[in-house]
Every structure is written in structure tokens, then in C-alpha cells.
Amino acid sequence: MTQTQRTSNQRVALLGYGLGGACFHAPLIAATPGLRLTTVVTRDAGRRAQALREHPGVRIVEDAAVLWANPSGHDLVVVTTPNRTHASLAMDAIEAGLPVVVDKPFARTVAEGQAVIDAARARSVLVSAYHNRRWDAELLTLRRLLDEAVLGRVLRFESRLERWRPQLKGGWRESAQTEDAGGLLYDLGSHLIDQALVLFGPVAHVYAELDRRRPDLEVDDDVFLALTHTSGVRSHLWASAVAAQQAPRMRVLGERGAFVKQDADLQEPALRAGERPQGPEWGEEPPERWGTLYDGSKEIRVPSERGAFQQFYIQIASALRDGSPPPVDAADALAGLAIIEAAQRSAVERRIIEIPQDA
């Protein structure tokens, strides 16, 4: 069955029901017209009970092999398992002829990600990377300002995703094993890089500082990236787990002025609290969280665009139904992985790394 022949009520299998599956995928899938969360794959007894409680009637299986044995039972697979399994499970889904969404990071390396894309192209199967933060309120607001040319030519883009988590939690995200792809560069860094690419295009040079600040930690928990875009814009990106006081979420300097957004999008805490992306107030920010425009003489409060994580799966449903482009091209994820690889080299070699423009 080709993707343009699929039923109007697309059946979704969700692989993994940790934080990502339970908070950032399942609620959005369940709220999307035309999608139905049919199956959750998890071996954890507590997560099985949670999935059944939160999505009554969902089928629970312990092994994704059950899906590959009967691919006609689903129309979409969503991979939100530990990073080391992203590419391999995506390949399994593609081999079964099933469209697939892969959580960030799309893969551990550019080569691994390219193999997934090549396999999807060979089988004419849809594949997309889950970069939901393209629909953060602050990013949507900034895109509006850029479209309106309010700032003039942008000189520097500063963006941060910071946390205060002084205690280690354990688990694969803090593992030093290369195959686990742990650390903040792969985690929050993937979001920051994707946003910079969406806003300002390809990157020619990368400089990075990847630090381990908390005792006994084996992976980076404090990250700084300096990107030079081919457009001339410089992006400075920070991700940290040791920020007890947080700097502005975004600061953008242009020839005509600056835009500063202190507070981050509210959708993540809402989803963590069990809210669903439904109703007219979803993603709306109160005036006290709006950003500010500065032109050197005055300050103007800028109403925030409404955050809209749900747009990712709305557009996925459309792509499955009528063959329209997916919300995130998997090639964009490769560009992000090229920057991650360059950042890893830069941090070790302590120098600026050039990215070939055919990467």
C-alpha cells in the first residue's frame, strides 16, 4: 500500500514510552485529526500501565518485531527510543514499507543518517525528523519579525536552552559509550542547531566548547557553539544543565535594532503537566512573557506568536494522506548532524572546523 493510498484514519505505532513518547509524541498524535495512536511498544511494566491509563484501548507490545511481522496493521511508525536505536529501528520500519518519524537526534552520525535516507528513497517511504521546536513561540515570533524586516540585516543570533539540574540522574543520556550518543550536544543541542539552520541557512564554520561540569559525569552537560552561516549571520548557541540563573532564551542583533525574549516557550511544561494541545488557548503566552524590541531609543513589547507543536503531526497526517512534503525534511537533520560532528572535532582540537557545503 503506497502512502497516498492509506486510510483516512492513520494508525500510528509509537516505539518507546519514556519522557519523549509519553509527553512529546503520544499527546500530539492523539490530538491530531486523522491520526490514531494504535500501538505502543515498551517492555517496562510501569510505562505499559501509564500508556493504558493515558490512552485507553491502545495496544501494548514488548517488541517492535511484532510490527514488522504485520506491517499492514499500521500506517506510521514513530521512533522515540534511546538514541543508539534511532537509525536501526528506522531502517526496520523502512524495510517493512512503513513511513517513519525519528526523534532527535535523527541518527548518531551523518553516515548513519544518510543510510536511513537512502533506504527510504529506495523504498519510496516517507521519513521525517522530529524537530518540534520549530514551532516554539519565540521562534515563530522571530520568524515573523524577520519576514517583516523589522531588525534589518541580522548580525548575530543568540539562543539558549538552559536547565538547573545539579544532580545526575543516571541512564544512557549520561553514558560515555559512543554508541549511546549521550550528552547535551545531541539532546538540547540538536534543537538549537536546527532552529539556527531554519532561520539563517547553511553553516560554513563551527567552533565548540563541550564541558563536563558536574562531578563524575562522563558526557557534556555545558555546551557552547559558535556557527558562521554562509549568509554571514553568526549564531551563538548555549545548552546547559548547570544554569541556576538563566540568560535570555533568545537575543537577536540586527542593523536596525534588537529582539530579546527572556522566557522559553510554555508548551514543554504544559505537556509534562499532562495537558493536551487542544483548544484556542494552547500555546498562547501572557503579555508578561512577550519579547521586546529595542532600537536604541525605545522599547516595544512584541506579542508572541502562539506556540504550535501540534503542527508537526498535523503536517505528517497531511503528508500521509495526500503526499505533501513532511514538516521536517530528513536532509535538514543531516545538516544538523554535520554540525554536531564538527562541534565534537572542534572541542577536541580546539579550533574552528570548516563544513564542506555539499555535506
| Residue spans in the chain of domains classed CATH 3.30.360.10 | 133-307+339-354
What values do phi and psi take at 299, rounded to 5?
A: -120, 135
- CATH for the stretch 3-130: 3.40.50.720
Find where cell 557553539 sits. Answer: 225
Residue 2 clears pLDDT 60, i.e. is over it: no
Put residue 218 in one of left, alpha, beta given phi > 0 → left and psi -120 to 50 → alpha.
alpha
The architecture in CATH of the region 133-307+339-354 reads 2-Layer Sandwich (3.30)
Which cell goes with 24? 512529546
Mean pLDDT of 103-112: 97
Q: What is the mean pLDDT of residues 98-103?
A: 98
Span 16-63, pLDDT tens digits:
999 999 999 999 999 999 999 999 999 999 999 999 999 999 999 999
Q: What is the pLDDT of residue 6?
A: 47
Mean pLDDT of 207-219: 95
pLDDT for residue 1 is more than 50: no
Lowest mean pLDDT among 130-134, 274-278, 318-322, 331-335: 274-278
Question: How far apart (Å, rounded) are the C-alpha atoms in residues 198 and 195?
Answer: 5
Assess whether pLDDT exceeds 60 at residue 324.
Answer: yes
HSE-CB of 223 using CA atoms within 13 angstroms: 31
Mean pLDDT of 281-297: 95
3-state DSSP assignment of residue 297: coil
Q: What is the share, in percent, of the chain residues with pLDDT greater than 70? A: 97
**pLDDT in the model for residue 60:** 97
Q: What is the pLDDT of residue 5?
A: 43
Range(s) for CATH 3.40.50.720 in the chain? Answer: 3-130
- Please list, in sequence order, all residues whose beta carbon lies within 8 angstroms of the beta carbon of residue 116, skipping any fewer than 6 positions away: 87, 90, 91, 94, 102, 106, 107, 127, 330
Residue 160: all three cell numbers together: 539558549
φ, ψ of residue 266 in degrees (nearest 5): -90, -5
Q: What is the pLDDT of residue 179?
A: 85
**pLDDT the model gives residue 312:** 98
Residue 111 pLDDT > 70, yes or no?
yes
pLDDT value, residue 357: 85
Give the tens place of pLDDT for each residue, 236-248.
999 999 999 989 9
* Of the candidates 91, 116, 85, the residue with the CA atom closest to the CA atom of residue 181: 85
Q: Give the mean pLDDT of the chain.
A: 95
Q: What is the pLDDT of residues 172-210, one digit of tens each?
A: 787 888 888 889 999 999 999 999 999 999 999 999 999
* pLDDT at residue 7, rounded to an integer: 52
